[in-house]
């Protein structure tokens, strides 16, 4: 009898350990992956781990990472936004055209550009919340509409920008840190705080976790949905402004495929496609992982074709990890 109890104890201990491990992996797995990548790249190339390259990574990552905050909000509500890459491209064109072609000063031009992004976001949000159009479909439509608009406005050619403000936003530094990185930090701070600590954040989680429960708890569910898409539109436009600054031009075909990288970063960061779960901090780690991966592979001269395959495998691995560990926890 005692031996049986002994084996039972062992079995229980083993399973407890496995469960603890899976919780640990789910929470920290992507972070550990990030650290491991940094270590591997540091040993593989002397050009990876130095201040200049790290700044480079942060600046490159910032464009996608800023939008990923909005994407996190959207996916937590069980939605998706495929239009962000095109809205980003359109925004570079809009801000460039306003400044260069119409001679509007930089600050109002930027504000107008943000308004364009928010307008697109609000029509998407309205379609999702009130017309009940699946977000996948409506944002797929806006993906082509926004890209088409960008091409139409410019005839397909880049529009040069000569603006000190844009230059500062895209390529400038504040206390030695690139401006886009500063902007990213502010967005992440605000994005984290709102989601984790405010009533609005709770409402977003509730709407994604259970729409009917949220509605019956008196939450204005439709407004919450509209909000997350407006926010994402605004952030896509903001990133567009930063990118236009960095390129000193509005480029109509910029941001192609960005939506996929942004969604990948969000999912890597632990946001659930089912809705109701996810954090801004996780998304930051996910975005950094994607950025470091592509930077490191570039430094190692890995062919871009192979890079795409590796990126895909990383996404697959991370999602498998999260599915695997949540399964271990429920059993």
Partner 1 sequence: MNSQHVLRFEGITKTFPGVVALDQVSFEVDAGTVHAIVGENGAGKSTLMKILGGAHVPDAGVLHLNEEPVRFADPLESISSGISIVYQELNLVSGLTVAANMFLGKEGSIILDDRQAELEASKVLDELGIPVGAESKIRDLSIGQQQLVEVAKAVSTQPRILVMDEPTSSLSDKEIRILFDIVRKLRDRGTTIIYISHKLEEIFELSDRVTVLRDGRHVISDETSRFSSGSLIKHMVARDLSEFFPTRTPHIGQEVLRVERISRYPVVRESSFTLHEGEVIGFAGLMGAGRTELMRLIFGVDQKDSGEIWINETHFRTMTPQIALRNGVGFVTEDRRKNGLVMCRSLRENTTLPNLDDVCGLFGVVNSRRENDAVSRQMDRLSIKAASSAQLVRYLSGGNQQKVILGKWLLANTRILIMDEPTRGIDVGSKREIYTLINEISGQGIAIILISSELEEVMALSDRILVMHDGGIVAEIPRDEAKPEVIMELAFGRQTV
Smallest distance from partner 1 to CB 211, Å: 9
How many residues sit close enough to partner 1 to count as binding (CB under 8 A)? 32
Among 95, 206, 226, 264, binds partner 1 (CB under 8 A): 206
- Find out whether 288 and 264 touch, Cβ atoms under 8 Å: no
Among 141, 215, 299, 324, binds partner 1 (CB under 8 A): 215
Distance separating alpha carbons of residues 190 and 237, to the nearest angstrom:
17
Among 119, 273, 277, 300, binds partner 1 (CB under 8 A): 277
Compute the half-sphere exposure of residue 121: CA atoms within 13 Å on the CB side of its CA. Answer: 32
The contact mask relative to partner 1 for 255-274 (x = CB under 8 A, - = no) is -----------------x-x
Token digits of residue 103? 């001679």
**Is there binding between residue 225 and partner 1 (CB under 8 A)?**
no
**Is there binding between residue 327 and partner 1 (CB under 8 A)?**
no
N-to-C CA span, the chain: 26
Distance set, CA 38 to CA 41, 282, 293 (Å): 5, 17, 9
Identity of the residue, 151 or 277, whose beta carbon is nearer to partner 1 in the bound complex: 277
Q: What is the DSSP string of 116-171?
A: HHHHHHHHHHHHHHTS---HHHHHHHHHHHHHHHHHHHHTTS-EE---HHHHHHHH
Identity of the residue, 214 or 247, whose beta carbon is nearer to partner 1 in the bound complex: 214
Among 210, 248, 279, 307, binds partner 1 (CB under 8 A): 210
Give the residues lining the site for partner 1 (CB under 8 A): 4, 7-8, 11-12, 15-16, 19, 197-200, 202-203, 205-206, 209-210, 212-220, 272, 274, 276-277, 331
């Amino acid at each position: 009898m005692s031996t049986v109890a002994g084996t039972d104890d062992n079995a229980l201990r083993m399973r407890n350990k496995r469960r603890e491990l899976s919780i640990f992996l789910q929470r920290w797995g992507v972070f550990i992956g990030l650290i491991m990548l940094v270590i591997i790249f540091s040993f593989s190339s002397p050009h990876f781990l130095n201040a200049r390259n790290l700044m480079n990574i942060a600046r490159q990552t910032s464009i996608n990472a800023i939008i990923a905050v909005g994407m996190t909000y959207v996916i937590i509500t069980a939605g998706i936004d495929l239009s962000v890459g095109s809205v980003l491209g359109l925004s570079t064109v809009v801000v460039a055209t306003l400044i260069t072609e119409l001679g509007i000063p930089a600050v109002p031009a930027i504000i107008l550009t943000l308004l364009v992004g928010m307008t697109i976001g609000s029509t998407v949000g309205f379609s999702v919340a009130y017309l009940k159009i699946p977000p996948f479909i409506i944002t797929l439509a806006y993906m082509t509409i926004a890209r088409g608009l960008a091409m139409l406005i410019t005839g397909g050619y880049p529009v040069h920008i000569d603006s000190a403000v844009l230059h500062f936003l895209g390529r400038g530094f504040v206390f030695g840190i690139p401006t886009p990185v500063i902007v990213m930090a502010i967005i992440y701070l605000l994005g984290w705080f709102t989601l984790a600590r405010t009533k609005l954040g709770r409402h977003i989680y509730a709407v994604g976790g259970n729409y009917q429960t949220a509605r019956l708890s008196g939450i204005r569910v439709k407004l919450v949905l509209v909000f997350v898409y407006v926010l994402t539109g605004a952030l896509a436009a903001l990133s567009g402004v930063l990118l236009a600054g960095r390129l000193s031009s509005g480029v109509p075909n910029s941001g192609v495929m960005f939506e996929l990288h942004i969604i990948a970063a969000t999912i890597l960061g632990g946001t659930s496609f089912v809705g109701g779960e996810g954090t801004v901090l996780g998304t930051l780690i996910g975005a950094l992982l994607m950025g470091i991966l592509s930077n490191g592979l570039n430094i190692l001269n890995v062919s871009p074709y192979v890079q795409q395959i590796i990126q895909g495998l990383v996404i697959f691995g991370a999602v498998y990890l999260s599915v695997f560990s949540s399964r271990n926890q429920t059993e």
